[in-house]
Amino acid sequence: MKRNKSTTFKYGFKNNLNLSLMKTKIKCFQLSMIITLFLTISHCTAQNQPDSLIYHIETMDGNTYMGQILGQDSVKILFNSDKLGEISIFKTNIKKMNTIDMKKIKDGQYWFDNPQATRYFFSPNAYGLKAGEGYYQNVWVLVNSFAVGLTDYISIGGGLVPLFLFNGAPTPVWFTPKFSIPISKDKVSIGAGALLGTVMGGGDSGFGILYGISTFGSKDNNMSIGLGYGYAGGEWAKSPMINLNAMIRTGARGYFLTENYFIKTGNTTTVILTIGGRQIIRDAGLDYGLMIPLMTDMDIFIAFPWLGITIPFGNKKDRKQ
């Protein structure tokens, strides 16, 4: 049987089209295999090449290491420690691992973040906690306080002295809202807040202070001046309390602190000087110093020791060394 020309052309065209589609599919498959192979090789190479970033690793047993990642697999990390050289660390033994800001390395030492950059010994400065950041502070075991950032500009806190543990003695409790406004980054910040408290079991014994404060300098090196009006015994103070504070970085883990109050009540002027320091121990900060009260009609010298610890918590990324 003879086929006409149109039938031959139709079948020939269809066969050529099928062959062309098949070749196209084969080329696409080959190309996808090449891409997959390339990505696999690149991933494996990246896993085995040294990381240019500097890391700080804290292990479950409390040891810390700083250096570069030379390579890693699903089980362990090959780490080039700045002090121990090449070591292997099992991933299950890593508590924290974070990159390090090279700007914080000075003279070969990492300058750890201040665990309580928004306060001196007790008085706040105008810097605020970031949203989700917080800290717990304990002074001489009995004085307990905390603060947490609701937003980058608003924080709340509180505290108590649990004297109820001693035969149900009256117990001071307080609430500390604070509002912070950065004017110029690491240069000027202003803030306002309050300390509102009462003595539970002590009858009508509300107390507090409303304050405004300005801070000049960075979170590492700054000075603050504040002005506040106190409330106690059902009356507001007629004269403001003046607050002068300073914080100076002294090294990789140390600060010099001074916190000072000037209070006038009637014909008496009281000056409370506090001078000391802060030592960073891992993530915590240990505050120590002397509190020296001076009064116009006081003829003796008294100094009270200050010892407190601050433990930060929350999602502060810069704090995780």
Half-sphere exposure of 75 (CA within 13 A, CB side): 1
Helix (H) or strand (E) holding 187: none
Q: Which of 134, 142, 132 lies closest to 118, judged by CA?
A: 134
**Interatomic CA distance for residues 139 and 137, integer angstroms:** 7
Mean pLDDT across the stretch 262-267? 87
What residues does 254 pair with on adjacent strands? Answer: 279
What residues does 119 pair with on adjacent strands? Answer: 124
Query: pLDDT tier at 290 (50, 70, 90 boundaries)?
Result: very high
Q: What is the pLDDT of residue 28?
A: 64
What is residue 103's DSSP assignment? Answer: G
Amino acid at 69: I
- What DSSP string runs through 226-253? EEEEEEETTEE-SS-EEEEEEEEE-SSS
Q: What is the pLDDT of residue 97?
A: 84
Mean pLDDT across the stretch 213-226? 96
pTM above 0.75, yes or no: no
Mean pLDDT across the stretch 69-92? 87
User: Does residue 217 contact residue 187 with C-beta atoms inside 8 Å?
Assistant: yes
Query: pLDDT tier at 315 (50, 70, 90 boundaries)?
Result: low
Can you list the domains of the chain with their CATH numbers? 55-100 (2.30.30.100), 134-319 (2.40.160.40)
Lowest average pLDDT, out of 42-46, 144-148, 278-282, goes to 42-46
